[in-house]
């Protein structure tokens, strides 16, 4: 085992896959000589050259379209969004091309494309740089969507995504890049469609993902001292949602709390609630509670910014409410 930062785990995954397969290449703004906005591609241009680590103009729709075309021809592009919010400029290419071409071509084309980069509410990055786009992209047919939360699953998910023959979006939270953890030195992979059971318990099921995993665990530490025994699930896969793991947990706890940084309206929690109601409504002994960010642009002011996002105390109070 070796302790590394999350950004370096992503860099290792990219390096290993580029070394293994010459069809893998990286493109995006400042991914080459600058090393990426969060250093995920640092020094890779020295090892692989300026073509396989390709600096692009500031034109998201253009280089996303180029990446999709490259994927059709058999290459395996990794597109880094300097900030995932900027990829809204490439929404047409991602939805009408990346998500659809395998289907509209009758299976003649595969789209082995990875789209990854930083997102989420940072620290006073302003509304345009603090967006959570998982709900935007979740509705697009043909995409797989995952959100990493630890150095271990970041590396394993990226390696799995690169080897997948379908377009995969990997969401990385801007505040988790400097998170450190032990990861195996040998090669490993993390499934693109499975949730992780983070903590076993029997009182209440708490479903979360990305940065909110740590808010949940902070709250759980306090709840355990009060005699509660929550079960914690990290979704990891946002599309498809691993509903079977959630149902298995509800068979024990019969109560569900969903914690997300996504907006409440049309968010990931809304989809989880719908699937639970469709598949296992009879397991519930109490109404589902969801804690989400407020439906407003994220303020720049630090105090107001914090007020828009779920905090550990909110989670503690929600669990107490469910079990009262």
Residues with catalytic annotation? 60, 129
Please, which residues have CB within 8 angstroms of residue 122's CB and are 6 or more apart in sequence? 129, 130, 174, 175
Across 84-209, where does the E strand assignment appear? 114-119, 144-147, 168-173, 180-183, 196-199, 205-208
Q: Do residues 299 and 269 lie in contact, with contact meaning Cβ atoms separated by under 8 Å?
A: no
Q: At 237, phi and psi to the nearest 5?
A: -85, 115
Cα 135 versus chain centre, distance? 11
Residues in the chain: 324
Query: Which secondary-structure segment (H or E) carries 134?
Result: helix 134-138
H or E stretch at 128: none
| Non-local CB neighbours of 217 within 8 Å, separated by 6+ positions | 198, 199, 232
Closest CA to 79 of 104, 99, 60: 60
- Helix axes 44-52 and 6-20, enclosed angle (nearest 10): 60
Q: Which of 300, 311, 113 lies closest to 214, judged by CA?
A: 311
């Amino acid at each position: 085992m070796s302790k590394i930062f999350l950004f370096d785990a992503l860099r290792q995954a990219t390096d290993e896959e580029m070394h293994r397969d010459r069809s893998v290449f990286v493109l995006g703004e400042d991914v080459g000589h600058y090393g990426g906005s969060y250093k995920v591609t640092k020094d890779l241009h020295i090892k692989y050259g300026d073509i396989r680590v390709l600096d692009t103009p500031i034109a998201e729709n253009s280089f996303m379209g180029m990446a999709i075309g490259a994927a059709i021809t058999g290459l395996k592009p990794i597109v880094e969004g300097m900030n995932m919010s900027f990829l809204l400029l490439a929404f047409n290419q991602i939805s009408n091309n990346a998500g659809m071409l395998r289907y509209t071509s009758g299976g003649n084309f595969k789209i082995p494309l990875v789209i990854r980069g930083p997102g989420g509410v940072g620290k006073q990055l302003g509304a345009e740089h603090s967006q959570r786009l998982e709900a935007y992209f979740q509705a697009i047919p043909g995409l797989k969507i995952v959100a990493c939360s630890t150095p271990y699953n970041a590396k394993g998910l990226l390696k799995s995504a690169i080897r997948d023959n379908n377009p995969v979006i990997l969401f990385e939270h801007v505040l988790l890049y400097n998170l450190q953890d032990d990861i195996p030195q040998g090669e490993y992979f993390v499934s693109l469609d499975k949730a992780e059971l983070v903590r076993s318990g029997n009182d209440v099921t708490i479903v979360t993902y990305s940065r909110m995993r740590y808010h949940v665990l902070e709250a759980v530490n306090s709840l355990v001292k009060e005699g509660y025994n929550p079960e914690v699930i990290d979704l990891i896969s946002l599309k498809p949602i691993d509903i079977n793991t959630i149902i298995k947990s509800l068979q024990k706890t019969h109560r569900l709390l969903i914690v997300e940084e996504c907006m409440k309206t049309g968010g990931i929690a809304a989809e989880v609630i719908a699937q639970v109601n469709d598949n296992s409504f009879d397991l519930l002994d109490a109404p589902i509670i969801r804690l989400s960010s407020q439906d407003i642009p994220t303020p720049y002011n630090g105090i107001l910014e914090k007020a828009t996002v779920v905090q550990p105390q909110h989670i503690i109070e929600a669990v107490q409410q469910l079990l009262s």
